[in-house]
């Protein structure tokens, strides 16, 4: 894809190699490499900081993180678990669903559970789900992409054909069918999602990137200097593909969260509480036909899903500017 074609390596590759040929340097290589990485990280961070969209996304994510971390504190020290438990809590003092009142800042759901507690409890799990599936997809995808680009030939063909098929899979219908047969819980779901993403489009994109790196002269230099295949892939190709991988990781988090929310919304997953689940509860109890009146049943969770996804997407766009100089603000 052309928009990814510009090189993201920011000239790190050749520099990184210098220590191997310079006997005057006494520092261990890992230390130099670490310093180099830190320096390029700092440079990239400078560019990222310029992107307003990216920074807004990052701030939102941090806010979500803080919100999620509040949960163990609240449930252990502030809230009474009997009332505020996100799944089995119940407040006997109120008619349910109750609109926001003093003890329940965002009201309660049709079976008497506190909405705020549910939101807070779910935040951590959304992070877990999103990050787990994104990390799996990117780690696997990067490795496959690098392998396919480096070895080419048969390895390449196999992975690319598989990617064609996987890209063809309509994920949600597929997951609906799988999910309705084996009720997936959060971990298997994240893992399945991660692998589906990994073998699909991301491999193709990262491979294209790795191909560009592969033809650089310093790869040949490294090979001549006796670097093993694995070493070259690990030390030269992957670091150069990494910014792009990171970018796709952000987009994959969004994809994972949306998939989870959608399937939860249809009640297909075996997850006791999540943002999608909250809307599901309201919907199945029939409260969604009067939108305006029972807004607290759907608005907070719907807003959270959208905002959370948007935040990762925005960080992705910010990273896009790091990876792709032509998009940068001027």
* Interface residue list for another protein (CB under 8 A): 1-3, 53, 160-161, 164-165, 167-174, 176-182, 201, 204, 207-208, 211, 254-255, 258, 261-262, 265-266, 268, 276, 279, 283, 288-289, 291-292, 298, 302, 305-306, 309-310, 313-314, 317, 320, 326-327, 329-330
| Nearest one of 259, 226, 252, 222 to 238, comparing CA atoms | 222
Minimum CB distance to another protein smaller for 222 or for 256: 256
Task: State the nearest-atom distance from the C-beta of 316 to another protein, in Å.
Answer: 10
Contact 78, 88 (CB under 8 A): no
Report how far residue 319's alpha carbon sits from residue 323's, in angstroms, rounded to the nearest whole number.
6
Report how far residue 162's alpha carbon sits from residue 168's, in angstroms, rounded to the nearest whole number.
10
Task: State the nearest-atom distance from the C-beta of 292 to another protein, in Å.
Answer: 8
Helix, strand, coil shares of the chain, percent, nearest 5, are 75, 0, 25
> Residue written as tokens 């008497």?
112
Report the C-alpha dihedral over residues 253, 259, 265, 271, rounded to 10 degrees.
Answer: -70
Task: State the nearest-atom distance from the C-beta of 132 to another protein, in Å.
Answer: 20
Task: State the nearest-atom distance from the C-beta of 26 to another protein, in Å.
Answer: 32
DSSP annotation of 193: H
> Residue written as tokens 């909250």?
278
Q: Give kind and range of the element (H or E) at residue 19.
A: helix 12-21
Minimum CB distance to another protein smaller for 60 or for 74: 60
Task: State the nearest-atom distance from the C-beta of 205 to another protein, in Å.
Answer: 9
Residues 6+ apart with CB under 8 A from 301: 115, 118, 119, 122, 275, 276, 278, 279
Task: State the nearest-atom distance from the C-beta of 283 to another protein, in Å.
Answer: 8
Task: State the nearest-atom distance from the C-beta of 114 to another protein, in Å.
Answer: 21
Residues 6+ apart with CB under 8 A from 171: 193, 196, 259
Residue 108 bridge partners (DSSP): 114
Task: State the nearest-atom distance from the C-beta of 57 to another protein, in Å.
Answer: 9
Residue 114 bridge partners (DSSP): 108
Minimum CB distance to another protein smaller for 90 or for 313: 313
Minimum CB distance to another protein smaller for 74 or for 172: 172
């Amino acid at each position: 894809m052309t928009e990814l074609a510009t090189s993201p390596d920011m000239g790190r590759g050749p520099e990184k190699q210098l220590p191997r040929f310079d006997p005057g340097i006494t520092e261990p290589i890992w230390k130099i490499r670490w310093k180099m990485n830190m320096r390029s990280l700092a440079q990239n961070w400078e560019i990222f900081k310029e992107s307003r969209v990216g920074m807004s996304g990052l701030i939102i994510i941090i806010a979500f993180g803080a919100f999620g971390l509040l949960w163990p504190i609240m449930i252990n020290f502030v809230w009474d678990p009997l009332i505020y438990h996100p799944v089995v809590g119940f407040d006997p003092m109120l008619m349910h669903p109750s609109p926001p009142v003093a003890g329940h800042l965002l009201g309660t759901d049709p079976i008497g559970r506190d909405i705020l507690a549910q939101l807070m409890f779910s935040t951590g799990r959304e992070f877990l789900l999103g990050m787990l599936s994104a990390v799996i997809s990117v780690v696997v995808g990067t490795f496959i992409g690098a392998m396919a680009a480096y070895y080419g030939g048969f390895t390449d063909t196999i992975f690319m054909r598989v990617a064609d098929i996987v890209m063809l899979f309509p994920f949600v219908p597929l997951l609906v069918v799988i999910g309705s047969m084996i009720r997936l819980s959060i971990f298997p779901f994240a893992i399945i999602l991660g692998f589906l993403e990994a073998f699909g489009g991301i491999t193709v994109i990262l491979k294209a990137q790795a191909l560009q790196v592969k033809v650089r002269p310093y790869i040949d230099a490294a090979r001549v200097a006796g670097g093993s295949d694995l070493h070259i892939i690990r030390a030269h190709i992957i670091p150069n593909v990494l910014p792009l991988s990171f970018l796709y990781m952000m987009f994959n988090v969004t994809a994972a969260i949306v998939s989870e929310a959608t399937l939860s919304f249809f009640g297909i997953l075996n997850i006791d509480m999540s943002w999608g689940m909250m809307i599901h509860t309201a919907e199945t109890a029939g409260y969604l036909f009067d939108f305006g009146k029972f807004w607290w049943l759907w608005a907070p969770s719907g807003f959270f899903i959208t905002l959370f996804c948007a935040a990762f997407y925005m960080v992705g766009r910010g990273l896009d500017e790091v990876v792709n100089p032509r998009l940068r603000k001027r």
